[in-house]
Chains A and B, each alone.
Chain A
Amino acid sequence: SQQGEEDPQALSIQEGENATMNCSYKTSINNLQWYRQNSGRGLVHLILIRSNEREKHSGRLRVTLDTSKKSSSLLITASRAADTASYFCAYGGSQGNLIFGKGTKLSVKP
């Protein structure tokens, strides 16, 4: 299976704390993407990092990519209750389609 893994599966933090989620994958990639999903809704694209990049920032989001370890991390700084959602990493499979992990369920308590 080309399925990747995210960890932790669930994360509960207080508002203002940082949240870190990790993603491991199994194949060579062109890019890796992170998505967010509020309960029962569609996914929203957050950030894309290309295989030749090591770190990328977007507002309170910081993504790192280590292609030697086939892993990526998503850091959300100064979290807010509105950040409560599930977060998924996705990367290109052998047929060009995106493969999604099972996601990390983040709960930010006020």
Chain B
Amino acid sequence: ETGVTQTPRHLVMGMTNKKSLKCEQHLGHNAMYWYKQSAKKPLELMFVYSLEERVENNSVPSRFSPECPNSSHLFLHLHTLQPEDSALYLCASSQENEKLFFGSGTQLSVL
């Protein structure tokens, strides 16, 4: 148990659906992250929130929409996804760019 909880663990959705991924951390960290992990590709940083302000958006398509209502919660809203968006989505938190604590991830399949 890393102190970072992600739900759901698995998600299957159609291309016209809207769904949200949730992440919660109880570590008192001031930064939270969304990463995407596709097969045979390195981890891709999608979004970074530091002190609840978004500081980085690595050219992620607008069909992915993050939300950070407070320092403990992070959401990733999904709409009109494509099959190539199928991947493991990982949330992480850290304190001042030190080591990352990851959740168990959401395995997303887009049909």
Are A102 and B99 in contact (CB-based, < 8 A)? no
Give, as a whole number of angstroms, the nearest-CB distance from A91 to chain B. Answer: 11
Q: What is the count of residue pairs linking A and B with beta-carbon distances less than 8 angstroms?
A: 50
Residues of B within 8 A of A90 (CB): 100
Residues of B within 8 A of A101 (CB): 42
Q: Is B107 an interface residue (CB 8 A)?
A: yes
Complex Cα distance A23/B105, Å?
25
Complex Cα distance A101/B40, Å?
11
Complex Cα distance A40/B105, Å?
8
A17-74 with Cβ < 8 A to chain B: 33, 35, 40-45, 48
A75-110 with Cβ < 8 A to chain B: 88, 90, 92, 95-98, 100-103
Give, as a whole number of angstroms, the nearest-CB distance from B88 to chain A. Answer: 7
Q: Is B103 an interface residue (CB 8 A)?
A: yes
Give, as a whole number of angstroms, the nearest-CB distance from A2 to chain B. Answer: 11
Q: Is A3 an interface residue (CB 8 A)?
A: yes
Are A44 and B102 in contact (CB-based, < 8 A)? yes
Residues of B within 8 A of A95 (CB): 56
Are A43 and B45 in contact (CB-based, < 8 A)? no
Are B100 and A43 in contact (CB-based, < 8 A)? yes
- Chain B 72-111 near chain A by CB (<8 Å), digits 1 or 0: 0000000000000000101010000111111111010000
Q: Is B43 an interface residue (CB 8 A)?
A: yes
Are B4 and A42 in contact (CB-based, < 8 A)? yes
With A33-B99, A42-B2: A3-B42 Cβ-Cβ less than 8 Å: yes
Residues of A within 8 A of B100 (CB): 33, 35, 43, 45, 90, 98
**Can you name 15 A-B pairs with beta carbons within 8 Å?**
A3-B42, A33-B100, A41-B104, A42-B90, A42-B105, A43-B92, A44-B102, A45-B100, A45-B101, A92-B97, A95-B56, A97-B33, A97-B48, A98-B100, A102-B41
Q: Which residues of A contact B (CB under 8 A)?
A: 3, 33, 35, 40-45, 48, 88, 90, 92, 95-98, 100-103
